[in-house]
Structure formats: structure tokens, C-alpha cells
Amino acid sequence: MGASYVTRRAFFGAAAAALALPRLAGARVQTPPGPGSRKTTLKIGLASYSMRKFSLDQTLDLANALDITYLTFKDVHIPRTEPPEAVKAARAKIEAAGVTIMGGGTITMPDDQAEIRKDFEYAKLAGFPLIYASPDPAALDFVEQMVKEHDIKLAIHNHGPEDKWWPRPQDAYKAIANRDRRMGLCVDIGHTARTGTDFVDAIVDLKDRVYDMHVKDLSDPKDRDSQVEVGRGVFDFPRLFRALLEIGYQGQVGLEYEIKADHPQLGIAESIGYMRGVLGDIVGMT
């Protein structure tokens, strides 16, 4: 890892120090309410891209320390370019750690059938029930064919104003609304906000195809470089979580912590702790 490498002692020191944060904020409050309630719980998890400068072992160790059991995986942690045996070994390690694999990506899919088929074969080996992807619009017919053939969901990930294909969830929805129901959306709330779109309204309006989420917080909803720990920015997470509970959202609420890449542990812990605390307050009031 070169200059970004941290020693095992430093890594676990940061993780151990972070443990107090989620515990104080309600680390184990994801208990469903009583029978008859419309509310349920949410699968608060982590996109492994948050730990992109760290190994799979370190990522799983942090997940264990912070009691995170839902993860989606970037190919830095489950390799796409190595032999199938390496993919299977990574999957086995993850499952042995008690982690539920919620999906993987983001995979950019050009209009190339051979490459798209390889992507789906990789996802099958990796145990992904869902791929979040950025497919070329011209490739959607073949992508739909692969979704049916492999029985894997495909969630289009929106990337904001710079994205020539899918800036907003609504743009992706229009492209898949009349396709196989396994084709849906991965809503990135930060990128959605930067388009001037209310991400809560978008999720509620498109709820029948929202299969995954990337969660972050911004201090300026128009500035992609203003990301901060969740709870320190301007996004209304109580409103978001109430909406997700009301629509019965079943996917992962996946933290994608893109800042402080060389030492993300404390920021991840603080963000997860805040999210759990918000959820605990809402569920506790039902």
C-alpha cells in the first residue's frame, strides 16, 4: 500500500477508539417493532469502496468491530481480473466472517456483449444478488438478457450532473420501467442532491424499482467535494429513514464514505453510529 499503509496496531487502535461512537448512538437498535406496525427495520451497511485502500481482511475486521453485517463489494476486495478460484476464495472468506453480501459494483458496462457477459459471470461467482452498474444505454437490451439468464438484479447507479447517461434516478427509471423487474436503481443520495433533485421524493416516487442505496452527507448539496461524516452535513436523515420505513424498503442503506481514504475508520464509525441512532429514535417512537 506504500505511503497509505497503516500498521495493524494503528488500524485496530482507530477501530477500537471508534467503537464508542456507534454504541453511544444506538449500535444495536435495529430491532423490528411489534406485530401490526407498518414500520420495519433497515439494513444499515457499508459499501466496501469506503475501505478501498485496505485489504479485504482489514475491511472484514472493521465490519466485525462495528457490528456491520451487510456489505456491498468493490472489485478491489473481490477481484474481477483474477482467476475464478480467487473470486470464490474471497466470497468464502466474507461468508465465513458472518457478512451478508448485498451486491457489488460499481461496474461500468460498455456496449460490448462479451464484457457484459464476463461481468455477470463474475457476479455469479462472487455471490452478488445485485450488481450496481453504469451501463451504456445502447447495451440495455443485452443487459436485460443477462439479468434473466443469471437471475441477478441490475441496479443503475446515478452519478450526478457529470454523468452523461444517468445523472438522476429518474433518468435511469425511464430506461428500465418497462423492462424485467429485476432491473432497477441504486440511488446515490449525494449525486442525486447535486442535480437539484430531492432524493427522498425520488425514492418514494420510484420505490418499486429502488433496490440499493449509497448514503453520504454533504455540507453543500451542490458540491461533490463537500462530503462530511453522516450527520454533520445538511441532509435530513430522519426524513429519509422515515420514508424508507414507510415504503418497506428492503435493500441496503449502504454508507459510501469517500473521504479520508487513508484513515477512514473513525469517519465510518461515526457515520454508522449516527445512522443507527436516527433509526433507533424512529423505531422507538412507533
Domains of the chain (ranges; CATH) run 2-31+38-284 (3.20.20.150)
Do 74 and 48 form a contact (C-beta atoms < 8 A)?
yes
Beta bridge partners, 132, equal 105, 155
Do 253 and 243 form a contact (C-beta atoms < 8 A)?
no
Return the pLDDT at 15.
46
Residue 211 three-state SS: strand
pLDDT tens for the chain, 286 residues long, are 333 333 433 444 444 444 444 443 333 333 333 433 445 699 999 999 999 999 999 999 999 999 999 999 999 999 998 899 999 999 999 999 999 999 999 999 999 999 999 999 999 999 999 999 999 999 999 999 999 999 999 999 999 999 999 999 999 999 999 999 999 999 999 999 999 999 999 999 999 999 999 999 999 999 999 999 999 999 999 999 999 999 999 999 999 999 999 999 999 999 999 999 999 999 886 4
Residues in the chain, overall count = 286
Do strands 227-228 and 217-218 pair parallel, antiparallel, or not at all (unpaired)?
A: antiparallel
Return the pLDDT at 284.
80
Whole-structure pTM over 0.75, yes or no?
Answer: yes
Return the pLDDT at 153.
98
- State the greatest distance between any 2 C-alpha atoms of the chain, in Å, as a whole number: 54
CA-to-CA dists, residue 151 to 109, 191, 231, 235, angstroms = 18, 28, 37, 35
Do 119 and 110 form a contact (C-beta atoms < 8 A)?
no
Return the pLDDT at 285.
61
Integer distance in angstroms from the first to the last C-alpha of the chain?
47
